[in-house]
A and B are shown apart, each in its own frame.
Chain A
């Protein structure tokens, strides 16, 4: 176990290091570069050419050997300095601290809701396998999975927000609502997050339901369930203790991974709902070629994903006692 823990931690650190190096390389690979973009912007603003040259000169740093730049990049990252956003003229870290909680709130809520639905629904379908209910539910699950979340999101905005005005189409809260732990604030935040959450839940619940159905069917066929029946245990006890437990456990890692995965999808989702989380800022950064912000958010999303998979891997042994050491976690 200890050995596995060290190895797994090493791998997480390695992944983060690769990503950081990748972003470092990407920033240098981007044609133009920040100074060129600055020049273009100043030209658009009609600034006098000699002044532009002076500004560029003053911003120009001595070109250093690549390893020195790399070292400085790494050390500033480690001290939490992600640079300054070119477009918003704010430190990248302060933009991220402002936006990240909202994205995490939407994605975690959505993932919890969709897993709750998938587990109950999938278990019921499995129990009634072969019935009309099974056919209809499985068909519906597949049908829902064939809609990309952003397509449903666009439909929601067009129909529910603009046509009928039931839900707000933009922003995290209504103007004037300040962040506090009041009922008004929480309610307002939920109201604004309802459509983004719904579009994730509806389009992703299908595949998880089918996975749960598959797990449950497999468990139902196991000998220990038959033995439990023969022992005359109550249906409830069999359903919860024997089938439910064994069918849900394999979905545990999927749950944490999906949260991380959805954080990556936030760019499209938040752009559609004009929800100012990290995805929204990443899109703005991409459009404005704001490389510092773009790479900062990319790093944050990667870190979140690496951490969630890391936690999933390390805790899987705790929730599922059958997995003794981590290496056998892939043997199920």
Chain B
């Protein structure tokens, strides 16, 4: 989102009126505006909802573990403690060890940073691409729309998981960023479609029309008039995409299709399931449960965040007690056609 300044009336006028104005808005001002418009305001509205609050707190814990936690807690290596230690026996390895003496908690903690990187790269890739394609298709219309829509329809119709698996076998990606992008290789398409249908209604709004008559360039209208309006919706879908990345990546690591050089909860699951004899009831259930909890809570945090924001921004889910929500959504009275994105 390159030159997204604020969308407040005065400034709009100001930058149009003096096309090459001498009074440039400083970068700091601009950043502060972006922060206010896209993070602070929607954040404040969303914060009203308990779900958002809990979801954000859970995610904050993960970010904390993934950044600070890895510095304070030792990395997993073989034979760092007694082998096959049950949980809650010693402080040295609070959640027990595997049959090769690896600290289970250390494995879970040190898998977090890679997971966060995957979520970020996948989420950013999917949402940025979807926003670009969706807004351009919806706003421009005509041939551009037809080409872009067909493109995303085709991408959407190719099944995600099998495609990722085949591609993972072909290119065997090692870096977390690449894996994140690979997982969302066609996830963006569904999102682009629903963004397009939102933009279709926004383009008819009077202020967009006004910009058009004033001769404002298309990219400028898209960035300044259209995108700010769909931003909350995009944030909701960023959280959904992130959850998809978590589920898909852990599943692929579990199957052993992604390279196992990186620590991941899926690898932990696989080891516990196939090697540690969790099946035969050898008292190794804890090795399964620890990564399962790690996955579940991360997904829970993301869903709560998405649902909480969705309630505020999506009229379909908004309560029928209109009075309650109207005051909350002052900056989004036109949240357009609601569309569900398949998970």
User: Which A residues contact B (CB, under 8 angstroms)?
Assistant: 11-12, 14-15, 18-19, 22, 26, 29-31, 129-130, 142-143, 145-148, 150-151, 154-155, 157-158, 162-163, 204, 207, 210-211, 213-215, 217-218, 220-221, 250, 254, 257-258, 260-261, 263-265, 267-268, 271, 282-283, 286-287, 289, 294-295, 297-298, 301-302, 305-306, 309, 330-332
Contact = CB atoms under 8 A, between A and B. Distances in A.
A155 B295 CA distance: 14
A263 B278 CA distance: 28
A331 B194 CA distance: 10
A294 to B, nearest CB: 6
B214 interface: no
A286 to B, nearest CB: 6
Contact of B159 (A283, A301, A331): A301
Nearest to A214: B317
A148 B319 contact: no
Contact of A217 (B273, B320, B343): B320
A155 B291 CA distance: 12
Given A217-B319, A305-B157, A143 B166 contact: no
Interface in B116-172: 150, 153-154, 157-163, 165-167, 169-170
Interface of B: 51, 150, 153-154, 157-163, 165-167, 169-170, 193, 197, 246-247, 250-251, 254-257, 269, 273, 278-281, 285, 288, 292, 295-297, 299-300, 303-304, 307, 314-322, 337, 339-340, 342-343
A146 B157 contact: no
Contacts of A143: 300
B316 A214 contact: yes
Contact of B342 (A147, A258, A294, A330): A258
A18 B342 contact: no
B285 A298 contact: no
A243 to B, nearest CB: 12
Given A220-B320, A254-B342, A332-B337, A267 B165 contact: yes
Contacts of B167: 26
A129 B319 contact: yes
Contacts of B321: 130
Contact of B299 (A146, A218, A268, A287): A146
Interface residues of A, dominant DSSP: helix
Contacts of A214: 314, 316-317
B162 A298 contact: yes
Contacts of B160: 261, 264
A15 B154 contact: yes
Nearest to B265: A151
Contacts of B255: 267-268, 271, 283
A292 to B, nearest CB: 13
Contacts of A309: 157
Given A22-B158, A154-B288, A264-B162, 9 more contacts: A18-B158, A130-B321, A142-B300, A145-B343, A151-B296, A217-B320, A261-B160, A305-B157, A332-B337
Contact of B281 (A162, A207, A289): A162
B320 A210 contact: no
Contact of B153 (A15, A145, A286, A331): A15
Contacts of B317: 210, 213-214, 217-218
Contacts of B337: 330-332
Contacts of B319: 129-130, 217
B158 A15 contact: yes
A254 B158 CA distance: 16
A331 B169 CA distance: 40
A258 B341 CA distance: 11
24 contacts: A11-B150, A11-B153, A26-B170, A147-B296, A147-B299, A148-B250, A148-B251, A148-B299, A151-B295, A154-B288, A155-B292, A157-B279, A158-B278, A163-B281, A210-B317, A214-B316, A250-B340, A254-B340, A257-B342, A261-B342, A286-B169, A289-B169, A294-B166, A295-B166
B37 to A, nearest CB: 27
B320 A129 contact: yes
A222 B227 CA distance: 30
B159 A263 contact: yes
Contact of A302 (B157, B197, B288): B157
Contacts of B304: 142
Given A14-B150, A215-B316, A145 B303 contact: yes
A267 B269 CA distance: 17
A295 B288 CA distance: 33
Contacts of A282: 162, 165
A18 B154 contact: yes
B340 A305 contact: no
A148 B285 CA distance: 18
A106 to B, nearest CB: 16
A29 to B, nearest CB: 6
A159 B169 CA distance: 32
Contacts of A267: 161-162, 165, 255
Contacts of B257: 286
A266 to B, nearest CB: 9
A186 to B, nearest CB: 29
Nearest to A282: B162
Given A217-B320, A220-B320, A158 B165 contact: no
B320 A298 contact: no
A210 B307 contact: yes
A130 B193 CA distance: 32
Contacts of B159: 260-261, 263-264, 298, 301-302, 305
Nearest to B277: A162
B166 A330 contact: no
A207 B247 CA distance: 15
Nearest to A204: B343
A214 B340 CA distance: 11
